[in-house]
Structure 1
Amino acid sequence: MRGSTVRAVNRLTARWAGVLPPGQGTVLSASGVWPLLAFLADGAEGSARAELEEALGMRAGSAVGAARELLDALARIPGAGSAVGLWTRPRVRPYDAWAAGLPEATLGRLGEDDVENQRLLDAWAAQRTGGLIPAMPVTVRKDTDLVLATAQAVRTTWLRPFREGGGFPDHGPWAGREIAALHRTTGLLDRVGVATTDAGPLTVMKVLGSTGVDVHLLLGPVDAECGAVLKAGVDVLSGACPTVTGDLLPLGGPGPGLDVRNVRSTSREPYLSVTTPPFSLTAEHDLTALHGLFGLTTARDTTRGHFPGICARPPLAVRQARQAAMARFGARGFEAASVTAIGMPGAGVPRLPFVVRRIDLDIDRPFGFLTVHRTSRLVLAAGWVAEPEPYLLEEEEWEA
């Protein structure tokens, strides 16, 4: 996919993250919204078109082609998938030229029974995300003449799995709680780094997946809000922030959550020890509530039509625009999905002959994450973990 498209989508990710309410766990996917805005812009005119172009970061004529390429590239990522769906009332006849621009879209009709219409759309969302998103985020109403949606899903397994266990933070907002925790060690110190960002020092831990999709865990300063941390993570991806990798970090605490020391060891290999909470997040977003961000201010005016390039009649405006998203990070891998829709209407003491570098990263307070396509650096999903999962002992542990 083109670098200009990646930059435009990641720009929308950063802008969206910047308006998130502080202190709440969430997950979002700008890569699910961006193609829809491009397809709308392709059929829009006047102020509606100009506002959509501003949100997209490029002209409508270029954006629609970029959206097709983006969705095609997402579909070719191993373990990932993307889809487009368009449903219309019988009286709505989209122009062939506009509909042909939707890549391999599901084309359907909305009937008279809106309960059945909703079941149809919900089934599409569930099927296209492998059940990760069970329902369409928009509701079919009597005045819904057209629904345009994208679905995306990504699954990957870790190249090096984690061990499951518990954690017991002794400071910060999670202090005194028994939380679920994942642990692993590696000799690859460059998996972690500290970046200098507008939000302050940012610790970035890369967890590599087997399909070319990675998750970057982001731990910022204690007082940094989620939007600032996520935006900083996107800035690091773009190369805008200088970053020092683990093999070059100074001793001590060079970044949030880090402890760098020289220790004695039985081998010459350094090691990085990581402890992080697993997480499972779901979120729904009303894009019309952020109409300025997504270029939908004029398009919401239902007193007149704004999309003559989609169909001649009836005049269309945006009545609903919503996204449902989820992300799950566990010991063996990661999965995330989104559906975005627009409705119009030790045993002993060994001999330790070597001195090696040891890095401990302990993520024991709220943190952010980015799901990143490794080759292009496109952000597929972003989110904030505000609350940890509790540590629950297995039944056999209780019996022991």
Structure 2
Amino acid sequence: MSVAAANRLTRAWAATLPGAAGTVLSGAGVYPLLSLLAGAAAGPAAAELSAVAPTPLVLPPDVKAAVGLWARADVRLRPRFRDLVAGVLTDDPAPIDAWSNEHTGGLIPSIPVKIDEETRLVLAGALAIETEWAEPFEDGEAHFDTGPWTGSWLWLYRSAPTLDGLAVLATAAGPITAATVRGRDNVDVVLLLGEENRGPAELLPAAIAAVTVPEPASADALRPLVDGAFTPEGPGVSVERSELPGCTLSLPRFTVRAEHDLLAAAEVFGLGAATGATDAAGHFPGLAEEPLAVSGAAQSATASFTALGFKAAASTYAAAGAGIPDLHHDMVYVSFDRPFGFLAVDRPTGLVLFAGWVGEPDPYIEDY
């Protein structure tokens, strides 16, 4: 249930993304905080939060994750939250930033937490993954004279004798070419290229729906990408006659970063009622003895795709104050040469750890 709920959260969040700029988000990074708040909430706030995060999420062992809590010295926390205390909250965010830096391996050196005299406590979560490719790419350069990526870019190439991990998905957002890049551990990155007029708010939710299943009972959560019907008519796919069969995949090397204000889409996270006016007991009587309401919530995230592997991290906070056909004579080329999406997925469970959009690749610099 929790994997399905976390994936629903990621789908709903991705559907709110504006424009087509590069970005990355982690619903799996927000979910544990929402689940904790749901367990401590009362009234309408509890109902909204429980609808989004009904049960705790057990994160996979390959994921590095932590939760920390900072409260003012005079805040009397309920016993169940005292084990989460990482320090005393002051007006200085440096201790929280240091915690984020430590638990994300330096990928998120600071959290956009806003602390003022009204802030009574801060609940933070960190999530990070890193994997090496089972089959690495070759580094190279690509130059385009026309199109959205005019210029020179750092480019990655890889060829394989089979089409394993490649599919064209039929979705509500039209056909999506999906190429799964397998990590050495249990993390896969699924590259997603849709029709040219499809942005992240359309493509990412449709792709998540297509490649994940609710609480899979087997270790083949992404089986549709491997066994699904494939035709060489998907976006970015071309076929040429060749003496040898196979598939050549090319894409830019990329790094994307983003900061998200969760309260800008409070209803997605079940935080609408939790930010409103409260009675004497507050919205979270199970968290502390004093009345509390959510005063801020945000996430910082980053993801990098290179020739050797993939790494991503997110730090989140909530503050409280008041089947493939026979192509043995064809060589299939798949080129991600315009803006595209990606998912980082835990292979055994189907949990979407990160979702993102590549608006622009890493530029090629001579003697890089």
The alignment's TM-score, normalised by the length of structure 2, stands at 0.91
Give the C-alpha shift of residue 261 in structure 1: 3.6
Give the C-alpha shift of residue 141 in structure 1: 1.7
Match of 1:110 in 2: 89
| Aligned counterparts of 1:173 and 1:390: Cα–Cα separation in 2 | 13
| Aligned counterparts of 1:385 and 1:293: Cα–Cα separation in 2 | 23
Structure having the larger proportion of residues in helix: 1
The yes-or-no answer on 1:8 pairing with 2:5 is: yes
| Aligned counterparts of 1:242 and 1:132: Cα–Cα separation in 2 | 31
Bigger RCO of structures 1 and 2 (CA < 8 A, at least 6 apart): 2
3-state DSSP of counterpart to 1:189: coil
1:20 counterpart (17, 21, 45):
17
| Deviation string, structure 1 residues 341-386 (Cα, Å, up to 9, x no partner) | 01111xxxxxxxx963311001100000000011111011010011
Give the C-alpha shift of residue 143 in structure 1: 1.3
User: Which aligned pairs between 1:87-236 and structure 2 lie closer than 5 A?
Assistant: 87-96=70-79, 98-99=80-81, 105-111=84-90, 114-115=91-92, 118-169=93-144, 172-174=147-149, 176-236=150-210
| Aligned counterparts of 1:306 and 1:171: Cα–Cα separation in 2 | 54
How has the CA–CA distance of structure 1 residues 188 and 242 changed in structure 2, closer, same or farther, with 3 Å as cutoff?
Answer: closer
Give the C-alpha shift of residue 311 in structure 1: 1.7
3-state DSSP of counterpart to 2:243: strand
Give the C-alpha shift of residue 245 in structure 1: 5.4
| Aligned counterparts of 1:130 and 1:222: Cα–Cα separation in 2 | 36
The yes-or-no answer on 1:263 pairing with 2:242 is: yes
User: Which aligned pairs between 1:1-400 and structure 2 lie closer than 5 A?
Assistant: 4-56=1-53, 58=54, 63=55, 66-67=56-57, 70=58, 73-74=59-60, 76-77=61-62, 80-96=63-79, 98-99=80-81, 105-111=84-90, 114-115=91-92, 118-169=93-144, 172-174=147-149, 176-238=150-212, 249-250=230-231, 253-265=232-244, 270-302=245-277, 304=279, 305-313=282-290, 315-345=291-321, 356-394=329-367
Residues 274 and 294 in structure 2, CA contact (< 8 A), matched pair in contact too = yes
Give the C-alpha shift of residue 170 in structure 1: 5.5
Give the C-alpha shift of residue 172 in structure 1: 3.4
Give the C-alpha shift of residue 85 in structure 1: 0.2
Residues 236 and 335 in structure 2, CA contact (< 8 A), matched pair in contact too = yes
| Aligned counterparts of 1:55 and 1:201: Cα–Cα separation in 2 | 29
Instruction: Decide which moves more: 153-162 or 235-244.
Output: 235-244
- State the superposition RMSD in angstroms: 2.2
Unaligned runs of 5+ in 2: 215-221, 322-326
3-state DSSP of counterpart to 1:318: strand
* Letter paired with 1:18: A
Give the C-alpha shift of residue 191 in structure 1: 1.6
3-state DSSP of counterpart to 2:311: strand
3-state DSSP of counterpart to 2:329: strand
Give the C-alpha shift of residue 93 in structure 1: 1.4
Residues 169 and 364 in structure 1, CA contact (< 8 A), matched pair in contact too = no
| Aligned counterparts of 1:24 and 1:196: Cα–Cα separation in 2 | 24
The alignment's TM-score, normalised by the length of structure 1, stands at 0.84
Give the C-alpha shift of residue 281 in structure 1: 1.0
Unaligned runs of 5+ in 1: 346-353, 396-400
Query: Could you say which structure has the larger radius of gyration?
Result: 1
Q: Percent identity?
A: 41
* Letter paired with 1:181: W
| Aligned counterparts of 1:361 and 1:342: Cα–Cα separation in 2 | 41
Residues 166 and 230 in structure 2, CA contact (< 8 A), matched pair in contact too = no
**Could you list the runs of 4 or more consecutive aligned residues of structure 1 that deviate by over 4 angstroms after TM superposition?**
239-248
How has the CA–CA distance of structure 1 residues 171 and 289 changed in structure 2, closer, same or farther, with 3 Å as cutoff?
Answer: same
* Letter paired with 2:200: C
| Aligned counterparts of 2:89 and 2:66: Cα–Cα separation in 1 | 19
Residues 236 and 334 in structure 2, CA contact (< 8 A), matched pair in contact too = yes
| Aligned counterparts of 1:343 and 1:214: Cα–Cα separation in 2 | 33
Residue correspondences, number? 354
| Aligned counterparts of 1:51 and 1:318: Cα–Cα separation in 2 | 13
